[in-house]
Structure 1
């Protein structure tokens, strides 16, 4: 999905630099994008142990390098080394393996370690796996007969006697005693994808790991995709050789063929796949979710139709291969897929997230789908389910009924009785997220707001008593405070038929008697939100531009990903880019009419990805408001983007051709009156460089003057290769100073 800079800005960065923070320090681009002195520390990764009394995490071993896996007792804080880095040194080597991720077997007696990772599209999901047997201290690399760094999604069987994984699009099982490797599929390769997914399933349906162990460990259920009918898009590498190299990728654009996807079951012993015959055309439906029902030989399969407004939920018997439709979820606009299924009461009921009452809530559903009762209730959305505790009788979740820019922990009774109870203390204003133990007695809280970098704390639940701080990012906070910046001001903008959330940043030397240029940062699409009371890297680019003499603002229009109910989110259905740009224009007019210190002759707008598209829709449709725009990694014609995302929010092209035309800025390029700069990476596998070139072609046709910058072999977030991020921000700064004169007048 076109999250663009929203995704990359939230990535954890490690703090670099030790210089003492000085009050009145100057915010410099090179410090942010080159020296990274405002990077933040994370904590973890954390795994709650089986007994729920302690958690494991990684810590540097200062003597030999590498990282130890240590355990902390939640109550006492007592520390013990579970696995020393000295045990992670392979035979005939001198240094420990680098741990990128790890997982425990169910009995906590074995450890699976992920290392030597490689990027597959967005994420590092391919690499090497090692198993450490804690009883024998034996360390063994898995898949020794397979090519190095090709293993994906390795996981223990329920009894930890085997590990299954994907290598080069086939699924394998490896016995952990004999280390015999058995191929469970052999047809993977070319257009056949086993146990993982094509690009669009990963990007838009959040599907990566494509197989599941049965509860008895005898079978594996998995997805298979056939991409043979999907159109191939070619990116071109012109910089790493004297000859260009085409990079092919199956990529279904709006209205074109999707992958043919099916779910099969293979016996670990016999190795012959049986396939579920899910009703409907496999090319025009998505098998969006599949998982085993605990303590059974049945799987739950969710089938989403191509329009993505109907979700058919089936239970499938892996022995008879019979399917039973137990639940059908529908929406007049579109449905989102949720991962909140938890089986209860000896698998007689399951939990299910739905917007059926106009708000996103959790329900308890009988196994046959005939009984559906609400667990959470009220005029608010459940943002995220954190923990379902059947023994304690509560579900813990994130919500924010009164302030859509903030997030807090709540709990509700699983039996649906009583009211929602807020757990996060009232004095912790901002956003909190949690990693909660299975018994719901402990949680690791991450608290942040617009002026506070993430603070990691261990808290007891449900009293939310802080037991100890795990990471406070104190040095980063001191550096940030030393800049003495004006913090974001969160404001409301009344556009007549809706009140929108927004924020504003003013220069340090702000003079209310002067008039300043107004620079909007926009996203505006359903995949994200810009107006959130979180750290977001300190919004240092926005702060930097404010210090150059701009008033910087951002507004969340209708349809953005905020917890404001079904009506808000679905309002943009069929009119991406149309309603949102109208909301943005109304907001701009309301803001200019409210604040006397804004110069209506100097109004700029910029955005990344979906925000780049929104920038051009605003600039081309409302040239009387915006004098300058800058669009990065944008979609110029919605038909060029992937089918799954675009059809979810716009409907099918055959049903909404006018909406696709009117929502695409390329069709209004002739209206450009002000200044425009466009920027794109030529290796963008998400929003293809084609979108950039087609817009350039159209602007030339209409004799429109503009600025442009291409970044060779950079992807959607334009950060790869040396000095890229710094160069990009300098380019953006130069454009704004040349085209939207800075400073109060």
Structure 2
């Protein structure tokens, strides 16, 4: 939870390959409350490391983590502590729910008694979700099969708090679209006094199911239903309830909504006490955000703060990954909270009074806050990530919580690239990770605010000094005939000869979820290509158009509103038009490829600008944006009932008749995100106009096309062979 100090969508595959999630994931490292030590699971043991000496103490041994009657210790994927740090909650036997491993078994180790006991042992195996200690450490609450439970740790007695949960009536967690687009997974919160639990209830009974057909896991095919509201369909209605642990009675909060269009409630927390909740309520168009205080005894709610935008409003978890697991930043003993807004044209932080009547902007200047790293109220600072002069990089800054004075860069000079931090609860130590395009990911433990390596270590600087810059890689800026300047990276062929002409392969994403041009290690690797593109003689390029989530201000990001499939595609094409003017580019060998939103962009570029792009490889693309989910598509495109023509213009199927070049289209039939229907709609349209192309369906694979033996090898072989055949490598 994000208190006065805080330490930090899978949509397309490429980014996840380059972000070392394991170093900063929920289960990797836990700080002690004192802030001078951390816990970490290693080789089946839970260890405690004390800084700055890095003194190691085994907190829980393999023997202690072995259940009675078993011979092997628990394989813990994640862990958490009670408030007094005397009990440890261990998450094991995990199962994936859509994107993440959020279902499994939980065990409690009590360091006072040395006992190891399973929570919810009468529930089905691997059915518990989001188990967490009560603030007083006496109970554990969890979700199992869409209902809430609480277990008293002293007696072992379990109480079911909700009785009506099922796949379509969801208590304490969320439906598919809330999880995918709002990152809402953990749907309940303990009250500070440990006597109540606030929770979401999602009513998906009227939300239509997408039926995915599984043809591979039995002789008779069977349908796999997913509650999935497409653009134009109303959201599943929500309710916020507060259940009393002693009586199991729920008090529902009175939060108004549009009876026809409905609305969203993506954030809810206790408001610093056990009598009020604070919630973020967003209208259907997602261009008005209301913060409400709710009285948990009466259910009455009051709007304390409203923000509107002519395009859309990004909720905090969309740009700060830490908030996926909840949290609200209260300061001044609960009298104020920290909030972010783009209302002045840049994403800045504000401190807002509890009644919403007074606000002070904390960060100032022509830059975007990229992420909140820590709030050090004791010393009067907020730490955050920003990059005021280079949108491809990321640095740690701090500024005064009172909003006075200039922001101070904490990341050292000479470490130009991308930084990440996991800061201790006292903001005195941090785990620091760095990379740039030529320096591999390197992590070190540092003190703050001086940014010195503990024990005199200097790992990042040493790694930078030893690293060699790869030949042929460069960042560049390109300006189109319309005056739009964009960042790009390029990898030139080995033994590049400027007197020869080379093929160009563009890697694209282009939509509001993907920034491709980052100064980080491995950014220009093509994981699908079998071999070395530079060695084979390709120029490999990626460019970030307007609408991508780069730190260049609100207008850069939001010019794409109601223009997906148009503004982003035109920016890319006009940038390519400049690239093909370079004397060493072979205009007859121009290829483009992408996955998911990048697959959609590939199709639109091939169809709308067929004279530029000769070969395209599109993976898991949205062929018709009418088919995609309502939260994502309506956020960026408005309601199709109100501006249908924008949806038509932005959909690749609309332009499929213009195909001239070589197209390879790839899709998994078990894709729950971009449904296989998109492939068949596209194929039908290409058939209609006698457009010849190659199509590969991967049976029962999801959006990542990663399941099944031999899948990746087959996919990468297909990709590489097609590219080499239709966009031959090498200089001429």
Which of 290, 295, 306 does residue 328 from structure 1 map onto?
Answer: 306
1:370 aligns with: 357
- CA distance, structure 2, for counterparts of residue 375 and residue 237 of structure 1: 53
Report the CA distance shift for 1:642/1:424 in structure 2 as closer, same or farther (over 3 A). same
List aligned pairs for 1:395-474, cutoff 5 A. 395-467=382-454
List aligned pairs for 1:22-33, cutoff 5 A. none
- CA distance, structure 2, for counterparts of residue 553 and residue 69 of structure 1: 44
- CA distance, structure 1, for counterparts of residue 199 and residue 170 of structure 2: 10
Which of 542, 546, 564 does residue 554 from structure 1 map onto?
Answer: 542
TM-score under structure 2 normalisation? 0.94
2:280 aligns with: 302
Residues 27 and 78 in structure 2, CA contact (< 8 A), matched pair in contact too: no
Report the CA distance shift for 1:607/1:44 in structure 2 as closer, same or farther (over 3 A). same
Alpha-carbon distance, 1:592 to partner: 1.7
Alpha-carbon distance, 1:608 to partner: 0.5
1:24 aligns with: none
- CA distance, structure 2, for counterparts of residue 332 and residue 8 of structure 1: 31
- Quick check: 507-516 or 126-135, which moved more? 507-516
Alpha-carbon distance, 1:277 to partner: 1.6
Q: Secondary structure at the match of 1:582?
A: helix
Report the CA distance shift for 1:494/1:734 in structure 2 as closer, same or farther (over 3 A). same
2:12 aligns with: 4
Q: 1:359-385 CA distances to partner (integer Å, 9 max, x unpaired)?
A: 001100011111011011110000000
- CA distance, structure 2, for counterparts of residue 275 and residue 293 of structure 1: 16
Report the aligned-residue RMSD: 2.2
- Quick check: 510-519 or 640-649, which moved more? 510-519
2:218 aligns with: 241
Which of 470, 474, 486 does residue 489 from structure 1 map onto?
Answer: 474
- CA distance, structure 1, for counterparts of residue 494 and residue 26 of structure 2: 33
Alpha-carbon distance, 1:473 to partner: 11
Q: Secondary structure at the match of 1:270?
A: coil
Residues 129 and 154 in structure 1, CA contact (< 8 A), matched pair in contact too: yes
Residues 450 and 487 in structure 1, CA contact (< 8 A), matched pair in contact too: no
2:497 is equivalent to residue 508 of structure 1: no
2:125 is equivalent to residue 140 of structure 1: no
Residues 456 and 469 in structure 1, CA contact (< 8 A), matched pair in contact too: no
1:578 aligns with: 566
Residues 632 and 678 in structure 1, CA contact (< 8 A), matched pair in contact too: yes
Residues 42 and 471 in structure 1, CA contact (< 8 A), matched pair in contact too: no
Alpha-carbon distance, 1:2 to partner: 7.3
Q: Secondary structure at the match of 2:289?
A: strand
Q: Secondary structure at the match of 2:334?
A: coil
List aligned pairs for 1:640-659, cutoff 5 A. 640-659=627-646
Alpha-carbon distance, 1:428 to partner: 0.8
Q: Secondary structure at the match of 2:373?
A: strand
Q: Secondary structure at the match of 2:64?
A: helix
Residues 153 and 165 in structure 1, CA contact (< 8 A), matched pair in contact too: yes
Report the CA distance shift for 1:111/1:41 in structure 2 as closer, same or farther (over 3 A). closer
Alpha-carbon distance, 1:6 to partner: 3.4
Which residues of structure 2 form unaligned runs of 5+?
1-8, 317-322
Report the CA distance shift for 1:422/1:8 in structure 2 as closer, same or farther (over 3 A). closer
Residues 52 and 455 in structure 2, CA contact (< 8 A), matched pair in contact too: no
Q: Secondary structure at the match of 1:669?
A: helix
- CA distance, structure 1, for counterparts of residue 479 and residue 631 of structure 2: 33
2:618 is equivalent to residue 631 of structure 1: yes
Which of 254, 257, 262 does residue 280 from structure 1 map onto?
Answer: 257
Q: 1:673-697 CA distances to partner (integer Å, 9 max, x unpaired)?
A: 1111100111110000110111001
- CA distance, structure 2, for counterparts of residue 342 and residue 129 of structure 1: 28
List aligned pairs for 1:504-543, cutoff 5 A. 504-536=490-522, 539-541=525-527
Q: 1:128-162 CA distances to partner (integer Å, 9 max, x unpaired)?
A: 00000011110011101111100000000001100
Alpha-carbon distance, 1:97 to partner: 0.5
Number of corresponding residues: 710
Residues 8 and 717 in structure 1, CA contact (< 8 A), matched pair in contact too: no
- CA distance, structure 2, for counterparts of residue 457 and residue 469 of structure 1: 11
- CA distance, structure 2, for counterparts of residue 522 and residue 305 of structure 1: 31
Which of 481, 484, 492 does residue 498 from structure 1 map onto?
Answer: 484
Residues 434 and 460 in structure 2, CA contact (< 8 A), matched pair in contact too: no
- Quick check: 485-494 or 608-617, which moved more? 485-494
Residues 439 and 467 in structure 2, CA contact (< 8 A), matched pair in contact too: no
Alpha-carbon distance, 1:4 to partner: 1.5
Report the CA distance shift for 1:434/1:139 in structure 2 as closer, same or farther (over 3 A). same
Q: 1:67-89 CA distances to partner (integer Å, 9 max, x unpaired)?
A: 21111111222111111122100
Q: 1:577-610 CA distances to partner (integer Å, 9 max, x unpaired)?
A: 10011000110011122x2111112111111000
- CA distance, structure 2, for counterparts of residue 479 and residue 444 of structure 1: 21
2:39 aligns with: 56
Which residues of structure 1 form unaligned runs of 5+?
15-39, 61-66
1:92 aligns with: 69
- CA distance, structure 2, for counterparts of residue 479 and residue 195 of structure 1: 50
Q: Secondary structure at the match of 1:86?
A: coil
Which of 608, 612, 619 does residue 595 from structure 2 map onto?
Answer: 608
TM-score under structure 1 normalisation? 0.92
Stretches (4+) displaced over 6 A:
40-44, 469-474, 476-481
Report the CA distance shift for 1:310/1:524 in structure 2 as closer, same or farther (over 3 A). same
- CA distance, structure 1, for counterparts of residue 336 and residue 373 of structure 2: 19
